[in-house]
Structure 1
């Protein structure tokens, strides 16, 4: 979940170690024949209905992952929000493992630091009870704060070269500041997220998603689900071993 251009598709591609677009199926396993165009890291579909939250997104490189994408309610549509809310609350209660949603990633981009938490986020975390399904806030596009750090240092009197050298430390401070602000806002709401994670370097095809998978596994309340999530990462032997030793 998350507003448009929050980096959702990029994250899914990195987790599934691919640059391909996902195949889309309806809830009965039938392929949905949308027309797809891939622009950079973003999948854009020309036919309406792509953001039907009940549709299942599956990447050929990682067929064990099934994703659902909700989009549109940030634009103020009550119908879109109600549809998303019903899906989340209904699927969180499903008893069969394959029919249930197991975790929610809510993306908040930091490239718009002046409006990190808007009405859509407040509405979701005030009104949408996901039950035992953990909601993890992913702070995306955190790398864009590097420019803010350079500009801040130049305002302090540093040259461009010196500012660029000192920028990483200030960038980290800015990222932590954004994280604390978002935590302060969301933790006061009725249904706050289970955890938060800062994501950097996601634009790189070789981006490492290990921290995202660890954070998600740790947020899951059922040990069996943790095992399923980790075992789906067949190529990441180190991650599988780490969780095996923890148990």
Structure 2
């Protein structure tokens, strides 16, 4: 995976990242598509989100868990992605709004994996264009929780899954309806192109139909798979970017069926889509897939802030405070000066 540095800061723990800065950085962000032998870009959209810095600071002091809403069709592989993010093969525990366990889940219920209770997920049942009731329930949940007064109930990111197994209908009426009607406010939406490996079969069929022998088709399948994924990703982005509330980033995912699948790029893209440094810190200290991301963001935010404060402003250097700020980016560290 190529190196990615978070957005440069000019004030430490103070100002929210601007959309323009974010989009500039995302221009160089790529995801390692293992199996394709090449790099597929995680592309940003022109969507803009902003949270008032003072409100953000107060807000971030009152949250402990990173909350994600996962949306998509019934065959999008949503639960598998959540298991990989939490490094688990088990089903999550399901809790209702009163904290009672359930054997089934609705969108308002919380899904929590024992392996990583720092994440709280909400899973929207797969909906299609004809399921008006499910769509309205999902829309109401999104609208309510994007501006939820109870800070701990806010959703911080939305993962919208579009499976490449349905590449012939990559963008349905339901998806366009969501991105035209659901205003998520400052909550970023990351479109995940799931099960992108399915395009390998399509690539093989195309090559065989062109008259290639099986052996030659197998040799060229990876290259053709890459081209197909690039084509359909551009197609999806072209349609959804024209919607009233477009997503923030588009990210292809492969190999999620492997228990050892690496979710670093997913976490990285989600962190990049977040406006607030505090939310980035919460996400990175919650995830367990990459200590490298914690180091990268900690050095960038904290060291940059220290340079701004000490060198440019001539203020005193607080070693203990500096160490605490660094440690707060890492898992299982809740440090105060």
TM-score by length of 1: 0.90
Count of residue pairs the alignment pairs up: 231
In structure 2, the CA distance between the partners of 1:118 and 1:203, relative to structure 1 (3 Å rule), is same
Matching of residues 29-178 of structure 1 within 5 Å = 29-32=99-102, 34=103, 50=105, 52-74=106-128, 76-178=130-232
Residue 287 of structure 2 is aligned to residue 233 of structure 1: yes
The answer for unaligned runs of 5 or more in structure 2 is: 1-70, 302-337
Residue 71 of structure 2 is aligned to residue 16 of structure 1: no
The answer for unaligned runs of 5 or more in structure 1 is: 35-44
- Alpha-carbon offset, residue 243 of structure 1: 1.3
**Structure 2 Cα separation of the partners of residues 184 and 232 of structure 1:** 33
Question: Secondary structure at 1:114's aligned position in 2?
Answer: helix
Question: Secondary structure at 1:68's aligned position in 2?
Answer: strand
Cα pair 1:233 1:240 within 8 Å, conserved: no
Cα pair 1:110 1:140 within 8 Å, conserved: yes
Moved more, 8-17 or 227-236: 227-236
Residue 272 of structure 2 is aligned to residue 202 of structure 1: no
| Residue 74 (structure 2) aligns with | 4
The Cα offsets for residues 48-85 of structure 1, whole Å up to 9 and x where unpaired, read as xx2x2110000000100000011143252222211111
**Structure 1 Cα separation of the partners of residues 289 and 140 of structure 2:** 35
| Residue 217 (structure 1) aligns with | 271
**Structure 2 Cα separation of the partners of residues 4 and 222 of structure 1:** 32
User: Considering only CA atoms, is the larger Rg found in Structure 1 or Structure 2?
Assistant: 2
Cα pair 2:263 2:289 within 8 Å, conserved: no
Alpha carbon RMSD of aligned pairs, Å?
A: 1.3
